[in-house]
Amino acid sequence: MRVLEVPERYNLGGTMSVIAVVKRDPTLSYTADGVWFATRTPDGPGTLNLAREAGALRATTYGPGAEWLLDRADAIAGLRDDVSEFPSIASRHPLIRQLARTFDGLRFPSTGRIFHHLVPAIIGQKVSGKEAYLGYARMLRHFASEPAPGPNPKLRLPPDPEAVAATPYWVFHPFGIEQKRADTLRRAAARAASLEGSADSAEATARLTALPGIGVWTAAETVRVTFGDPDAVSVGDYHIKNIVAFALTGAPRGTDEHMLELLEPFAGHRGRVCQLLQAAGIAAPRYGPRMPLRSFARF
């Protein structure tokens, strides 16, 4: 066990929610005992429980990866995230200044695990949030060769990259994942060891985008959580460009190019600005029908 000091108004639930690349991520669980996170560490599977305790956090870990997780517990809780310069940067726009004060308890977690977050990011490519969750949940159930360590029965471990790399693409069809994304998952799994060796966000992004099927959106969704990168922007996202344009200019629609121009004054914390806008529930007006759900389960 380890006790972690936290800043005033620290938001445990909101901070840890960033770990969920797709909503309702089965590797993350909220209970009366705090937040639970299961992953595959360099030492083996492990589970981390973070619980509020008299103005601090109590970190408890389980499994072969317990020691690795305990050593990194403060990073996973977002407590290594340096926000000291952000109030000055946020002051460059009145809305961002206000949101920075309102949500000053949010931090960016840094799990140190690339393949864990790369899997849901690949599954989430160009599909609805519901499709992404269903595909990810089904995949985790299929590759659940062992339970997550610890007393939380709801948790699931992310898939073992060796098992994913050795699986034919057609096995992914019942999960709702077509051949293109399945092949991307398998290629990434085969290179998982190399990817995990990335020293920082920039190196990881370069290695990720060198793989066929992985672009800047997938890389940003991954490194934002792996390295706690507050500048990672999901270029190519279906919604975020419109959210940024609407929040900062009032325009109902935006482009990726315009979004990056609007975020330039916040360089170094562009992803943090996007996080604040989403935390505030700001959304651009909706037009037309929702993206239809597709199914590859019977292909």
Q: Tens of pLDDT along 103-128?
A: 999 999 999 999 999 999 999 998 98
Average the pLDDT over 218-229 and give the result: 98
* pLDDT class of 297 with cuts at 50, 70, 90: low
pLDDT for position 134:
95
The answer to whether the pTM exceeds 0.75 is: yes
Bridge partners, residue 56, by sequence:
5, 53
Beta strand residue intervals within the chain, DSSP E: 2-5, 28-31, 34-41, 44-53, 56-62
Higher-pLDDT residue of 15, 23: 15
pLDDT at 255: 97
Q: What is the mean pLDDT of residues 230-241?
A: 95
Q: What is the pLDDT of residues 152-194, one digit of tens each?
A: 999 999 999 999 999 999 999 999 999 999 999 999 999 999 9
β partners of residue 59: 2, 50
Q: What is the pLDDT of residue 299?
A: 47
Could you tell me the strand order of the sheet in which 2-5 lies?
Answer: 2-5, 56-62, 44-53, 34-41, 28-31
- Predicted confidence at residue 212, as pLDDT, reads 97
Q: Which fold has domain 114-143+158-214?
A: Endonuclease III; domain 1 (1.10.340)
Q: Which two tokens stand for residue 93?
A: 């726009």
Query: Would you say residue 78 has pLDDT above 90?
Result: yes
Q: Per-domain residue ranges for the chain?
A: 114-143+158-214, 240-279
What pLDDT shows up at residue 112?
98
